[in-house]
Amino acid sequence: MKSTLVAGLTATRRYEVDKGRTIGFMGDEARVYNTPALIYDMEVTARDLLLEHSDAGEDSVGTRVEVDHLAPTLLGQWVEITVTIEEVKGPGVTFSFTAKDSLDNIGKGVHKRFVVGVEQTKARLLAKAEKAKSAS
Amino acid sequence: MKSTLVAGLTATRRYEVDKGRTIGFMGDEARVYNTPALIYDMEVTARDLLLEHSDAGEDSVGTRVEVDHLAPTLLGQWVEITVTIEEVKGPGVTFSFTAKDSLDNIGKGVHKRFVVGVEQTKARLLAKAEKAKSAS
């Protein structure tokens, strides 16, 4: 983690609501941006902001999300997501986020990530894979 | 909503962690179940439980998720998600949920949904689509 990783950093990104981001259980003409897609896009925005302030060999993993999904966004609209770093405490980083489309504020919440070493994390994952194999 | 829709109802479902549910930014051998996929699978479990206790023409939309993603699950493992209805207050339903894989408790949280009329919701969505078109 670079010394530039501090509270107050912010990033805004716009995403097109394509079909893969929507849920169609009310019919094709009523496809709306789903909550998992909102969270995915928010996580990408937050992770990329962290990467700009991380050292080589570091990445981050998400540990907590709180989201209020306030309004529906239709297939073909865009959404704009803003993440802001609220706190940096050791490797733990807390973000707030908001999301809007061209008409409404559609979401807000809190997100926590941990900055990790990629090689150490891989080693932990491979150890779990071995354990899962011998348990099955 | 049927009179059978009450606190205490619960459902458990198992999902295979296939490639589409994983994130691969630490390399292909370290693909792990991502938080949006956990939320997607949890929402499907909760929605299907609600549908069993809904009248014709009703469905539900998610309004809030709080999730702690506690441990990584690897590509090829299964996850088992349990949702429990904690409160029914008018059309608002609050669930708690837990998730585990073969080795670890991997997640827990709270989820809120609203039971809605499909036709009324469609009408609201089409009105928003019209408004978005004339605003763009």
Residue A51: count of CB within 10 angstroms of its CB: 13
Tell me what pLDDT residue A136 has.
Answer: 63
The pLDDT value given to residue A133: 86
Query: Which of B28, B67, B95, B100 is the best mutation test for A, with the most CBs of A within 10 A?
Result: B67
Name the DSSP letter for residue B56. Answer: T
**What's the complex ipTM?**
0.95
In this prediction, residue B37 carries a pLDDT of: 98
- Closest CA relative to residue B15, chosen from B44, B50, B52, B36: B44
Taking the C-alpha atoms of residue A67 and residue A32, their distance in angstroms, rounded to an integer, is: 17
Check residues B40 and A135 and name the one with the higher pLDDT. B40
Q: What are the chain B neighbours of A67 within 8 Å (beta carbons)?
A: 64-66
pLDDT, average across residues B60-83: 97
Q: Sign of the CA dihedral B30, A16, B126, A98?
A: positive
Domains, chain B:
10-135 (3.10.129.10)
Separation between Cα atoms, residue A92 and residue B42, nearest integer Å: 26
**Using the beta-carbon criterion (under 8 Å), do A37 and B37 form an inter-chain contact?**
no
Which position has the token pair 């669930």?
B95
| Rounded Cα–Cα distance for residues A135 and B99 (Å) | 18
